[in-house]
Amino acid sequence: YINNTHGVDDDDFYDRNLALFEEEMDTRPKVSSLLNRLANYTNLTQGAKEHEEAESIGEKKKSPQMGTFMGVYLPCLQNIFGVILFLRLTWVVGTAGVLQGLVIVLMCCCCTMLTAISMSAIATNGVVPAGGAYFMISRSLGPEFGGAVGLCFYLGTTFAGAMYILGAIEILLMYIAPKAAIFESKHPEGEGAAMLNNMRVYGSICLLLMSLLVFVGVKYVNKLASIFLACVIVSIVSIYIGALVSAFKPPDFHVCVLGNRTINGHEILDNQCAKKFLTQLGEESITKKTTYLWKQFCEGSELNASCDKYFTSNNFTKILGIPGLASGVISENLWSSYLSKGDVVEKVSLDSSNGAQPASTHQPYVFADITTSFTLLVGIFFPSVTGIMAGSNRSGDLKDAQRSIPIGTILSPCTNPSLHTLPFI
């Protein structure tokens, strides 16, 4: 029917070939005919090669030449190297611990593997034309299933694009160029709202730029794909290099703690992680003055002011923020440390006084902004392993799609970088 060259009306030809529904020919609505036309709509995305050939007017049509490695494996791996791996995997490991972190990654990879096996079964069941997973499912299970899967795939891709944009803006404003923020808050309580406003502005700009890039042509996007993949691979290699370097020479990055409670870095002025500091007025006159942190825990800046009980019985210390593999940090982080919203982030290996009062929200501690659990971490990490559709979407560019799609798609979850970099993180 797809290659029908007869001079018969499409609806009439389609109805005559539904032998199971011959008794309903006169009464049933032609919904299936409409769905079939939508499924065969020629302006749908049919693969990168078809777009490139449509853009290059006058060029001769060439047969697909991409193999398993370049056509399926690398595109899948490039999509797995997502923003979750770089921004949230460290937090997942710090919260769930190394052991439960490995369980989370294995669970997500197993779900992805089942999907890859199912898609491979469909790919090896017949000819795989251009159009990717949607085309295979719609031709194997019918336009009804294909339409449902196509809508879900469209929504998933849309939300994934929004997630990648927000991740890029977060990296830009928090690590690369913090001064580029348009909205700023003078108080720590308003930093979250200011960041959301910055994400709205910069995210809209990024979305507009990417839309223009796609509008210009998919050919240019494909040409830049190898460059983007090289950048991601360099980033992954940097994780291993950084882990080895920090094992012998930890970076000079310190965190201030009171007892075993972490202090917010925004509340430390002039790097004064102490209760008092010495000032020299003359050659022999030396006095003690209280620091800014003193005022946060006491009712005044005087040395005899009434202070918080936990503040009085514990001292400020500086610890390495990146201690390195040789410090035994892996053994400390083997087990989980789930927190409820509003709990203080503590380092359990440090000693502190017993019977301390609960922390107050106005004190300069680092508080958990969300209640964490194993199920929540699985939901946050799962989008990191949903990039296996990228290889099947290039089915029109593959020389042997029936062979390349199963091998490349199944191999990509097995070599998920999260499994190998998680102990180092």
- 296-313 residue pLDDT tens: 888 888 888 888 888 888
Kindly report, residue by residue over 196-221, the tens digit of the pLDDT: 999 999 999 999 998 888 787 766 77
Domain span including residue 77: 64-250+387-421
Kindly report, residue by residue over 242-290, the tens digit of the pLDDT: 888 888 888 888 899 998 899 988 777 767 888 887 665 555 556 678 8
Look at phi and psi of residue 262 and say left if phi exceeds 0, alpha if psi is from -120 to 50, else beta. Answer: beta
Q: What is the pLDDT of residue 100?
A: 93
Q: Please give the single-letter amino acid code of residue 125.
A: N
Q: Which of 378, 372, 384 is nearest to 336 (CA)?
A: 372
Residue 382 belongs to a domain:
no
Residue 351 belongs to a domain:
no
Residue 130 belongs to a domain:
yes
What is the overall mean pLDDT for the chain? 77
Share of the chain above pLDDT 90, in %: 13
Residue 297 belongs to a domain:
no
DSSP character string of 237-249: HHHHHHHHHHHHS
In the predicted model, is pLDDT for residue 14 greater than 60? no
CB atoms within 10 A of CB 220: 13
Q: What is the pLDDT of residue 30?
A: 54
Residue 272 belongs to a domain:
no
Tokens found for residue 68: 């398993």
Kindly report, residue by residue over 58-91, the tens digit of the pLDDT: 444 555 567 787 778 878 887 887 888 888 888 9
Q: Which of 175, 161, 169 is nearest to 194 (CA)?
A: 169
Q: Are 345 and 262 in contact (CB under 8 A)?
A: yes
Q: Are 163 and 80 in contact (CB under 8 A)?
A: no
Q: Containing H/E element for 189?
A: none
Q: Residue 377's pLDDT band (boundaries 50, 70, 90)?
A: very high
Share of the chain above pLDDT 70, in %: 77
* More confidently predicted of 144 and 381: 381
Q: Residue 166's pLDDT band (boundaries 50, 70, 90)?
A: very high
Number of domains in the chain: 1
Residue 32 belongs to a domain:
no
Residue 49 belongs to a domain:
no
Q: What is the pLDDT of residue 424?
A: 56
Quick one: average pLDDT of 133-151? 79
Quick one: average pLDDT of 89-104? 91
Place of tokens 């009464």: 27
* More confidently predicted of 256 and 9: 256
Q: Which of 369, 365, 367 is nearest to 258 (CA)?
A: 365
**3-class DSSP state of 161:** helix
Q: Containing H/E element for 409?
A: helix 401-414
Residue 353 belongs to a domain:
no
Q: Residue 352's pLDDT band (boundaries 50, 70, 90)?
A: confident
DSSP character string of 70-110: IIIIHHHHHHHS-HHHHHTHHHHHHHHHHHHHHHHHHHHHH
Q: Containing H/E element for 278?
A: strand 276-280
Q: Containing H/E element for 313?
A: helix 309-313
Distances (CA, A) of 420 to 76, 100, 102, 417, 423: 17, 15, 10, 5, 7
Burial of 64 (0-12, 13-18, 19+ CB in 10 A): middle
Kindly report, residue by residue over 115-130, the tens digit of the pLDDT: 888 888 888 877 777 7
* More confidently predicted of 17 and 296: 296
In the predicted model, is pLDDT for residue 21 greater than 50? no
Cα angle 122-127-131, degrees, rounded to a multiple of 5: 80
Cα angle 131-52-206, degrees, rounded to a multiple of 5: 85
d(CA 40, CA 51): 17
Name the β-bridge partners of 257.
Answer: 262, 317
